[in-house]
């Protein structure tokens, strides 16, 4: 069996060289599994249609399911969405970087594969140092879907990623076991009031303090 390359990176140590290599793989059309606050995610360059198609193929994911993206910095948000509602700005100030994915009206450069033809895109600024460093080194938004076959439980360690999709991807950034628990909360900010699509790290009561 041909498994992917594994790079060990301590999120609290000096991982700059490892992340630079990982970003090069990503920008060359590769797929990279990486740690997040909860589970391992699977990154493709979110501006590369071929890379996005590989995500769906590797995960055996139906194209009716949208894929959220992670951004390297708040300044990039304006380039990816058609508008940022006032409520979203308040939520950003309170919860980003962190465990809140917000769904916006997608800008013209966003692939319809990512939106599942809904015209909406889920976006998050991660608080995990490895995830953020990867997006910053790549300089582009990356996909933040879970690193596993669709329908299987998400992976909290690199060994599970290898067992699930290790023959199908290019690289794993091994930072050991992640915390697991709940994934990000997904909140649609295109509706008034915003609607919770998936409960997760950020509780409904915390969100209601901002949007009520």
Q: How far apart are the C-alpha atoms of 19 and 203, rounded to whole Å?
A: 32
Cβ 103 vs Cβ 186: under 8 Å: yes
Mean pLDDT of the chain: 96
Residue keyed to tokens 């939106």? 115
Q: What is the mean pLDDT of residues 113-137?
A: 97
Q: How far apart are the C-alpha atoms of 137 and 20, rounded to whole Å?
A: 6
Q: How far apart are the C-alpha atoms of 62 and 77, rounded to whole Å?
A: 26
Phi, psi (deg, nearest 5) at residue 175: -115, 25
Phi, psi (deg, nearest 5) at residue 189: -95, 10
What is the per-residue pLDDT across 37-81, written as a single tens digit (0 to 9) for each?
999 999 999 999 999 999 999 999 999 999 999 999 999 999 999
Longest dimension (CA), the chain: 53
Q: What is the mean pLDDT of residues 173-186?
A: 96
- Number of domains forming the structure of the chain: 1
Structural domain that includes position 14: 5-211
Instruction: Output the domain CATH number for residue 65.
Output: 3.90.870.10
Q: How confident is the model at residue 1 (pLDDT cuts 50, 70, 90)?
A: low
Run of H or E residues at 70:
strand 69-70
Q: How far apart are the C-alpha atoms of 96 and 94, rounded to whole Å?
A: 6
Q: What is the mean pLDDT of residues 131-150?
A: 97
Q: Sheet with 142-143: list strands edge to edge.
A: 142-143, 69-70, 120-124, 100-105, 185-188, 195-198
Omega within 30 of 0 (cis) for the link into 193:
yes
Q: How far apart are the C-alpha atoms of 143 and 112, rounded to whole Å?
A: 13
């Amino acid at each position: 069996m041909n498994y992917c390359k594994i790079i060990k990176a301590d999120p609290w140590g000096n991982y700059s060289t490892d992340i630079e290599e990982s970003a090069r793989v990503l920008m060359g059309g590769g797929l990279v599994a990486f740690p997040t606050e909860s589970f391992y995610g699977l990154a493709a360059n979110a501006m590369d249609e071929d890379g996005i198609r590989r995500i769906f193929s590797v995960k055996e994911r139906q194209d009716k399911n949208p894929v959220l993206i992670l951004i390297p910095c708040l300044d990039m948000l304006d380039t990816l969405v058609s508008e940022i509602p006032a409520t979203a700005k308040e939520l950003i100030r309170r919860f980003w970087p962190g465990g809140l994915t917000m769904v916006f009206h997608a800008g013209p450069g966003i692939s319809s594969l990512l939106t599942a033809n809904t015209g909406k895109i889920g976006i998050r600024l991660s608080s995990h140092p490895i995830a953020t460093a990867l997006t910053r080194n790549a300089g582009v938004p990356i996909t933040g879907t879970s690193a596993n076959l669709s329908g299987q439980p998400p992976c909290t360690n690199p060994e599970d990623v290898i067992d699930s999709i290790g023959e199908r991807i290019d690289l794993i950034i091994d930072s050991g076991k992640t915390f697991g628990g709940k994934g990000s909360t997904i909140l649609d900010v295109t509706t008034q009031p915003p609607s919770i699509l998936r409960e997760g790290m950020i509780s409904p009561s915390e969100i209601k303090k901002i949007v009520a």
